[in-house]
Chains A and B, each alone.
Chain A
């Protein structure tokens, strides 16, 4: 065998072995359609700030449901407390993400006299499952991705833990999982909603401040609220198109 022949055969073997078997698999038209057809579900969320009392049940339920170490100082969802004082000053806090409720009168190392308060409210936060998620855009390995029904998920086996997605999220909802050492965030309890269940936080809320629904279904109660009532989203200026809608949002809420 000449050197030329040997090199030719080596090349042929290399090319042939490089072709994976899946390359020969033909999809049926039905399969192909199913793969590209837009989903008929788009998960959306309603937060009613008028109803939230800051009990922290949602935060607790989320931590337990999603195996976020209970005492770790990070959380998939949290509740913020806002006090707007009569002099126009805003003070806010979220001790432990509001997990244990807001039982302390002290806020930001300050005890505020009730007569000084102009208004006070609680604002629950969670991943906004943006239509245009910056976290998906910046992930260098594609470990964070958006499903057809709009939920952004993270592949724990593929995330390299660079933190770029944490930096890119304008809402600060992402963090590193203390145990798995990969990026972590709220998934709208994807494992539950797929089975027709509600998210853990929605189930845990005694006041109905949180609701999840299908935005593509005009008869869904959540869709009806969004279509007929005045709702707002967080940080509209970033162009991320959040799909968590707020009732009673105040300009102080960032």
Chain B
């Protein structure tokens, strides 16, 4: 067989019954990761804005963390697309010759506008810190300190005034930016949904609800990931306090107390958004069944047949219902929350999977099916990029980036 090496898609697509010859699962795992990552960015930002714009004081600590975390996620958001492109070196051409009728090119523009908002907001939030660091490090010996001093003085952008008036202005700017950021974040993810929802050739994707469904699940996933990361970091901190010999400013009990309060408060918002997300998804499903247009026959066979486990057991059961119950049953503990959050993120991943892969599971002939076998062993570049390890790389990237960024912009240590 010469087919496999000449055509990587043929490696992971299994065809069944009558499928057109050029049909394959072209949008594979990276295109599942793409809306997942953009959704996480949007969700993390919305979470941070809940405090900045609406003044929800109970989210103050979470807001600062999620803003910086959303920045780390933001850098990773276009990466899955880069991994997926057959010509990744030409990726920038989207910005040179934007074709405004294409949702992808509009996405690029929204993404850049959004990046500017996030970076600017972070700068306003941390300007005082940059100035303080720049002054504190001045004259300190050692090449590390000099470099750090240089970095912080560059980051101040020459704005050294940290008087009350100036800081008040900063706060105002943060509020405005966070306010503009919410619709732009929703727009960013709405566009990711629009990329699918506007494909009229695909019976599963073609619904005007798609952008809204994507926005809601994005907020759910972003909040859940921020909470889970926060818990992991705090648990690690508690562990360090308990096991290390040096004295700490706080006790493990203090950290634990602060942690559970914050998590309980944030969980309330998460549950609210989860209800909205699941309602929309079920509405879409009911609507399709009720109207039952020509494509419904094949869609039904995919939804209730071939993808039943993926959709109803994994996505709705383990990804929605179970964590929902875990979060609403009284006496919430950190361990239970963490487990529920991991399930929520898994649920959103499965939703993306079922949309992207499920949308390609049936042939345009409406008389055949395709199954995607995710490449596991990365024996070729394509098998890596479009396989399990490519997705894992993308999934781990924001944490690595956050670790680096947090060294300079400490979102968890610094208190004004």
Q: Which A residues fall within an 8 A CB radius of B?
A: 69, 71-75, 78, 90-94, 96-97, 108, 125, 134, 136-142, 158-164, 166-176, 178, 181-182, 237-239, 254
B86 touches A182 (CB 8 A): yes
When chains A and B are docked, how far (Å) is the Cα of A163 from the Cα of B22? 12
Q: Any chain A CB within 8 A of the CB of B90?
A: yes
User: What 10 pairs across the A-B complex have the smallest Cβ distances?
Assistant: A161-B86, A140-B104, A170-B201, A175-B22, A172-B20, A140-B105, A97-B21, A181-B86, A140-B102, A142-B99
When chains A and B are docked, how far (Å) is the Cα of A20 from the Cα of B81? 33
- Given contacts A164-B104, A167-B202, A168-B201, whether A139 and B99 have CB atoms under 8 Å apart is yes
Residues of chain B with a CB closer than 8 A to A176's CB: 7, 9, 26, 86
B97 touches A158 (CB 8 A): yes
Residues of chain B with a CB closer than 8 A to A94's CB: 18, 20-21
- By DSSP majority rule, is chain A's interface helix, strand, loop, or mixed? loop
B22 touches A74 (CB 8 A): yes
A181 touches B87 (CB 8 A): yes
- Interface range, B side: 35 or more
Closest CB in chain B relative to A219 CB, distance in Å: 35
Q: Within residues 95 to 115 of chain B, which ones have a CB less than 8 A from any CB in chain A?
A: 96-99, 101-105, 108
Identify which of A78, A134, A159 contacts B21 (C-beta below 8 A): A78
- Given contacts A160-B90, A161-B86, A181-B86, whether A71 and B104 have CB atoms under 8 Å apart is no
B97 touches A92 (CB 8 A): no
- Given contacts A137-B101, A139-B102, A140-B98, whether A238 and B87 have CB atoms under 8 Å apart is no
- Given contacts A97-B21, A139-B102, A141-B105, whether A160 and B26 have CB atoms under 8 Å apart is no
Residues 192-217 of chain B, each 1 if its beta carbon lies under 8 Å from chain A, else 0: 00010011111000000000000000
A167 touches B104 (CB 8 A): no
A173 touches B94 (CB 8 A): no
Q: Any chain A CB within 8 A of the CB of B244?
A: no
B366 touches A254 (CB 8 A): yes
Q: Within residues 271 to 299 of chain B, which ones have a CB less than 8 A from any CB in chain A?
A: 294
Shortest Cβ distance from A109 into B: residue: B17
Closest CB in chain B relative to A201 CB, distance in Å: 15
When chains A and B are docked, how far (Å) is the Cα of A254 from the Cα of B7? 25
A72 touches B3 (CB 8 A): yes
- Given contacts A92-B367, A138-B103, A174-B22, whether A182 and B87 have CB atoms under 8 Å apart is yes
A78 touches B20 (CB 8 A): yes
- Given contacts A73-B7, A140-B105, A160-B85, whether A238 and B364 have CB atoms under 8 Å apart is no
When chains A and B are docked, how far (Å) is the Cα of A78 from the Cα of B22? 9
Residues of chain A with a CB closer than 8 A to B22's CB: 74-75, 78, 166, 172-175
